[in-house]
Structure 1
Amino acid sequence: MPTRSRRAVIRAGGLSLRLHPRTGAIGLVLLLIALGVAFVNLTTGDSPVPVAEVLKSLAGKGTAGTDFIVYELRLPRVLVTLLVGVALGASGAVFQSLTRNPLGSPDFVGLTTGAASGALIVMLITGGGGLRVGAGAIIGCVITAVAVYLLAFRRGVQPFRLVLMGIGVSALLEAFNSYLIYRAQLNEAIAAQVWLIGSVNGRGWTEVVIVAVTVVVLVPLILYYGRHLKVLALGDEMAVLQGVPVERSRAILALAAVGLSAGATAAAGPIAFVALAAPPLAARLSRSPDAGILPAAVMGAALLSAGDWAAQNVLPSDNIPVGVVTAALGGLYLTWLLLHERRGARA
């Protein structure tokens, strides 16, 4: 006799939210891990600060030297890491659900590469920096998303065609980015290449504001329309029968996910792996085929925080960009995913 999965239902007005107990527990554990690693990152670095001194500084009772280290050097970096992880995890969950493909993340559909193209144009052609680079990344991401959608559209958009078109557009943009770097001055090319790796080194309050606004505005929107993701995965006809506004829901979810990816890339560069792996890893921990957007978001925050800790402490003298760590982990994850799919096909 089949057993029903127990779920808690929270209602507020006309809205309802269903929570699976295990999924909620896993999400809470991941959140605590992300915050714990973030706090450790506040205490470690070239000038280690004791835990007690960090707590005093956060409470407004620290010394001038400790406050400078915590508030000017480390807290912005930690906040950018957490918020970018949340943005990438949520964005990846939406794209993978909409495309019904584990490779349907901003990395593979060309969005992060498009954002990089926009940023490189500002950096290497117009000579801009700071906010202009962030704006260029956002514009490049949005233009790439529209181009991929239009190229994949043929009496509707099939998920498989969208992923393939995104991979093709990404390859073209990679070539364009390489050309821009090749034509640049040596110092400009080095700075651009470092940005392309993806890094939270030297990030300040400007980047915190960019990604924080993106997360605060778009994550609630995704959570609201994310209720329809499971029904949309059953097909448009079934979704219509269930009363779901198919085109509006899909368009809003896709645009919000694009915005999250753009904001994350504008703040920290095109960081790989997190959007690809966070949703399926959260789903495996919760033993659910679809863990949901919030668990994927906090998994993204935990992964990026752990990656930043590794980047600072594995080779502390080099302080390598976090994108190096996530790219290495991404390669291992992608290899495992392909082997897993191959074994599943044989079975």
Structure 2
Amino acid sequence: MNPQPIAHIVAGRRKRRRRWVLVTGLLAVLAVLLCCAMLLLGSTLYPVRDVLRALAGEPLKGVSFAVNTIRLPRMLAGLFAGFAFGIAGYTFQTMLRNPLANPNVIGITSGSSAAAVFCLVVLHTSRAVVSLASVIAGLATVLLIYLLSRGKAFSVGRLILVGIGIQAMLDAVISYLLLVSAQQDIPAALRWLSGSLNGSQMRELPPLAITVLVLAPVVIALGKRLDLLELGEQAASTLGVNTDKTRLALIVSSVGMIAMATAATGPIAFVSFLAGPIAKRLVGVGFSNVIPAGLVGVNLVLAADLIGQFAFAVRYPVGVVTGLLGAPYLIYLLIRMNQKGEW
């Protein structure tokens, strides 16, 4: 056997591994820098030493409240939500082999949003109840989409079409609730719908953090099987993947993270849509991009929040900035898919 081709294969794999490690490391460093910027920047710029002392629990007038009560919860909410949105979006896009198959497009976040708006403008419940209702509604929406799209065999196209239809219906429900609600209730609902880190509180973050810390490792561990699912049902089964169990574990884990992240921050637009393609473009192929996609999601959320706070004369929620970034890409993607005849 000629060892030359094998040597080329081994060298190519090592090159791809080095690229994966380098890009993932740079994404992690950028995420850390953005986290530090979230803690340092605000209406008042505090010295690094004072911020560290406040984080250590030392009472400092003004600094302790600004850092521990406002900036730290905001940063942690963006960190965990961005990671959840990035991983979940990449998982759906890879598993269903379609860049449009992300939680924003197929209606999962719309289910959570409809429940949250109903609680805010009709029931006037607390934020904890809003979060719980949005999680339950997100899970129920996934179940409904699955039941309506079920046929003799699993169909990606059918699931996406059903999801888009459910999303349109739920968006109509949201619009109706906003039209008939009292005027004083509309601002709170609109803030939540736009996706925002404003008002994040430490006592509300443990459910999100625990969900991400528990479910993200499940998706990461299934990363190789997820990549095999992208080859198709028959190819993955031939290579030894139990497609039904793998798909169920990936869906449950991703939906749990996306529902909890939406409950905590609202439906931050296009993060789950952009994270996967950006990660794949940066890292390339050959290794699982689950972790890079999560880090891209973190960087998108934190960077967009900083831009929304300080780049304009008026402060904008993070979802407005990510929407401005994602909308042109969606149009480009639709044009490209139409040219390739993928519809």
Deviation (angstroms), 1:62: 5.8
User: Aligned pair 1:46/2:43, yes or no?
Assistant: yes
Corresponding residue for 1:6?
13
* CA distance in 1: counterparts of 2:197 and 2:264, whole angstroms: 8
Match of 1:321 among 317, 321, 326: 317
Corresponding residue for 1:280?
277
What SS is found at the alignment partner of 1:6? helix
Q: TM-score normalized by structure 1? A: 0.91
* CA distance in 1: counterparts of 2:145 and 2:199, whole angstroms: 33
Corresponding residue for 1:34?
31
Contact 1:94 1:257 in 2 (8 A): yes
CA RMSD of aligned residues (A): 2.0
* CA distance in 2: counterparts of 1:241 and 1:261, whole angstroms: 31
Question: What is the count of residue pairs matched by the alignment?
Answer: 335
Instruction: Report Cα offsets for 1:272-294 as digits up to 9, x if no partner.
Output: 11000001101101132875110
Match of 1:338 among 316, 334, 337: 334
Deviation (angstroms), 1:38: 1.7
Corresponding residue for 1:147?
144
Of the structure 1 ranges 106-115 and 239-248, higher mean CA displacement relative to structure 2 is found in 239-248
Instruction: Report Cα offsets for 1:11-41 as digits up to 9, x if no partner.
Output: xxxxxxxx82211211111111111012112
Corresponding residue for 1:248?
245
* CA distance in 1: counterparts of 2:110 and 2:143, whole angstroms: 14
Corresponding residue for 1:136?
133
Amino acid at match of 2:321: V
* CA distance in 1: counterparts of 2:288 and 2:35, whole angstroms: 23
Residues 211-230 of structure 1: pairs in structure 2 closer than 5 A: 211-230=208-227
* CA distance in 1: counterparts of 2:204 and 2:295, whole angstroms: 19
Deviation (angstroms), 1:191: 1.3
Deviation (angstroms), 1:210: 2.4
* CA distance in 2: counterparts of 1:33 and 1:342, whole angstroms: 35
* CA distance in 1: counterparts of 2:67 and 2:174, whole angstroms: 36
Deviation (angstroms), 1:155: 1.2
Deviation (angstroms), 1:264: 0.6
Q: TM-score normalized by structure 2? A: 0.92
Residues 186-265 of structure 1: pairs in structure 2 closer than 5 A: 186-265=183-262
Deviation (angstroms), 1:56: 2.8
Amino acid at match of 2:159: L
What SS is found at the alignment partner of 2:122? helix
What SS is found at the alignment partner of 2:187? helix
**Aligned-pair identity (%):** 36
* CA distance in 2: counterparts of 1:206 and 1:120, whole angstroms: 22
Task: For structure 1, list consecutive stretches of 5 or more residues without a partner in the other structure.
Answer: 9-18
Corresponding residue for 1:110?
107
Amino acid at match of 1:131: A
Instruction: Report Cα offsets for 1:63-86 as digits up to 9, x if no partner.
Output: 242121111110000010011000
Match of 1:78 among 75, 79, 85: 75
Instruction: Report Cα offsets for 1:171-198 as digits up to 9, x if no partner.
Output: 0000011111111111112211121111
Instruction: Report Cα offsets for 1:250-304 as digits up to 9, x if no partner.
Output: 0110111111110110000011110000011011011328751100000100111
Task: For structure 2, list consecutive stretches of 5 or more residues without a partner in the other structure.
Answer: none
Amino acid at match of 1:91: A
Corresponding residue for 2:163?
166
Deviation (angstroms), 1:7: 4.4
Amino acid at match of 2:104: D
Q: 1:192 to 1:289 in 2, by over 3 A?
A: farther
User: Aligned pair 1:123/2:107, yes or no?
Assistant: no
Contact 1:282 1:291 in 2 (8 A): no
Of the structure 1 ranges 78-87 and 336-345, higher mean CA displacement relative to structure 2 is found in 336-345
Instruction: Report Cα offsets for 1:110-168 as digits up to 9, x if no partner.
Output: 01111101112222222212110000110110111011111111113211211111111
* CA distance in 1: counterparts of 2:281 and 2:59, whole angstroms: 42
Residues 284-323 of structure 1: pairs in structure 2 closer than 5 A: 284-288=281-285, 292-315=289-312, 318-323=314-319
* CA distance in 1: counterparts of 2:13 and 2:285, whole angstroms: 13
Amino acid at match of 1:176: V
* CA distance in 1: counterparts of 2:288 and 2:21, whole angstroms: 9
